Amino acid sequence: MLKTRVIPCLTIKDLRLVKSIQFKEHRNIGSYIAAVRVFNARDVDEMIVLDLDAAKTGIKPWLLEELTKECFMPLTIGGGIKTLQDIRTLLKLGADKVSINTAALERPEFISEAAEKFGNQCIVISIDAKKVNDHYEVFKNGGMIGVGRKPEEWAKEAEKLGAGEILITSIDEDGRMNGYDLDLVKSVTRAVKIPVIACGGAGNLDDFVKVVKEAEASAVAAGSIFQYTQTTPLNIKEYLAKFGVETRV
């Protein structure tokens, strides 16, 4: 059985490390390089870095070069990835995986092309979703535009097209630190066989246990809890272990 991974998720906007609430109100919380150094020293399993400006400005190779100089853990990069050349550039510069969202929704065959060219192990499909009336809906363009699709259906299609992993983020819970949306995560984990990373809402140690034990997440990603509390990835791993969840220590 695969061990549960604990993954810090960093978001960059205007070349600063930021943290949002429900994909809005982006608060400047400092230097992304300083944050990478801290997590690198703490031997985290992986790191996800999302460039929120890249959809408009394009990917920034120099940004990845800065990150990889300081980052000695598996690194997933997302934001503004639209072409195979974008993926090739990021992998060549040191990314281990790429996270694709809007481009995959707008042209699903992009997933198959990317998986065939680079291997499905490095293709992460990012799904941003929130409650609309009585159901969950997938959103693109940084959570601004609903596409009328259910997260579990899109996840299943992405898996079929060659995605190696799903990153499911709750827009409703993003930055609120009230816990993961367990129903949302569960709807995706039960629809696919590939690993699912849960993101959005972690505020205390019990939240991680619940999303793994109850919603069956393969990995847990978080941002606010690392920025606004004294909780470390090791604290999370030790707490998960108390409930029989194996992690990489």
Catalytic residues, which ones?
128
What token pair was written down for 112?
Answer: 């198959």
Three-state DSSP state, 22? coil
Round to whole Å and give the CA distance between 155 and 160: 9
Q: How many helices (H) and strands (E) does the chain have?
A: 11, 12
Residues 6 or more apart from 69 whose CB is under 8 A from it? none
Round to whole Å and give the CA distance between 225 and 126: 21
Nearest-10 Cα torsion for 45, 6, 16, 51? 80
Q: What is the DSSP letter of 24?
A: E
Site of tokens 């990603």: 221
Residues 6 or more apart from 82 whose CB is under 8 A from it? 103
Site of tokens 């959570």: 143
